[in-house]
Amino acid sequence: MIYLDYSATTPVDSRVVDAMSPFFNASFGNPSSVHRFGQIAESAIDSARESVARVLNCKPDEIIFTSCGSESDNLAIRGAAYAMREKTGAKWILASRAEHPAVTKTLEHLGKYDGFLIEWLDVDERGMVTPEIVAKAICGDTAIVSVMYANNEIGTINLIKEIAEICRANDILFHTDAVQAAAYLPVDVNELGVDMMSLGAHKFYGPKGIGALYARKGTALVPHLTGGGQEFNLRAGTQNVPYIVGFAEALRITEEEREQRVAHVQPLRDKIIGTVLESIPDSRLTGDMESRLPHHASFAFKDVDGNLLLTLLDAAGFACSSGSACKTGNPEPSEVMNAIGLSREWGLGSLRVTLGKDTLPEHVESVLNTLPNLVEKARRLK
């Protein structure tokens, strides 16, 4: 099997495994315990927090460890929405139509059960939220704005710095889901100007089940998981010491090796995009060609069932993914495909090919030699 789904998850770097290993057995203490075992564990968390803060260019106490990127999104959006409503009465939340479900489902829940009002920001045909759209939508009753750094399905990079400046000028909290972005894009929170930023380790060769939220000092948050006083009273529960250590090490390596990783994947990505658009009739690139994640190629094929195409690819030895969600007996295009204005005959036929540091040129050649015939077969079988 050739793995071409690095935006879904990445293998854990062996250096990360080595850093984590001692905290499963030799240094197994609970970081909340007073004795020496606990002190060793607590010290490991403190060191990890400092390491993450160095990469993000922030203070260590602005880093909150969570179980994943989705939980970080939940804490940021729920926590800030509740706090701002309590503080100012603001009840509007703005977010793009192309956000990850960790954001969209959270907002739908807040609207249905907590009385918040949600305004969905339109994206253009590239899936981008323009700063002008944000500026036009903001009002005095806006509690928080959430726009993702880079889109998981179509790879488009948003103008986060410009959007943050608009929010700052209007004294409104700005959150970005940077889960897809952190593997390849700069995450200096002061340069970006964000108030909150969500990260998940398994997108950059760390373990699954660990994430982090950056929350700028002074950002009011209501905890969404209550209990003990861990993570500055914002996220209760015994801390996952080995995974926190793994998160920090994976992010440190990512920052250190970012340029060489980009240099490795981007030419391969460009070859995939160019060859697919030339060799497969009725194909189109989804997302922006220029403002795009360097490892990310995504397409829509007219009159193709994307889920069938994935099955054919899997049988041929390639692991890829699709933007379309498969619902029993009723497959529909994803919300992102709808948001960028694709008709159903195009939106159902989405394909995402994402590369990683272990992707080889021969892997790319192999999938490019195979894909045209599989798309043709999928059209026949539709």
Does the active-site annotation cover 326?
yes
Residues ≥6 apart with Cβ < 8 Å to 25: none
Q: Which ranges of 139-212 does DSSP label H, i.e. alpha helix? A: 160-169, 189-192
Backbone angles phi, psi at 182, to 5 degrees: -60, -25
Place of tokens 């960790």: 102
Contacts of 350 (CB under 8 A, 6+ apart): 153, 286, 298, 299, 300, 301, 306, 322, 323, 324, 333, 334, 337
Task: Report whether 207 contacts 246 (CB < 8 A).
Answer: yes
**The Cα angle at residue 206 between residues 200 and 209, in degrees rounded to 5:** 55
Side-chain-facing half-sphere of 328: CA atoms under 13 Å? 0
**Element containing residue 289 per DSSP (H, E):** none
Q: Which two tokens stand for residue 90?
A: 């603001």
Query: 58, 68, 139, 326: which one is catalytic?
Result: 326
Cα separation, 213 vs 74, whole angstroms: 10
CA 37 to chain centre: 35
Q: Distance (Å, rounded) from C-alpha 241 to C-alpha 246?
A: 9
> Cα–Cα distance between 68 and 35 in angstroms, integer?
29
CB 176 within 8 A of CB 196: yes
Structure tokens that stand for 317 in this block: 């030895």
Q: How far apart are CA 97 and CA 146, in angstroms?
A: 11
Residues with a catalytic annotation lie at 326
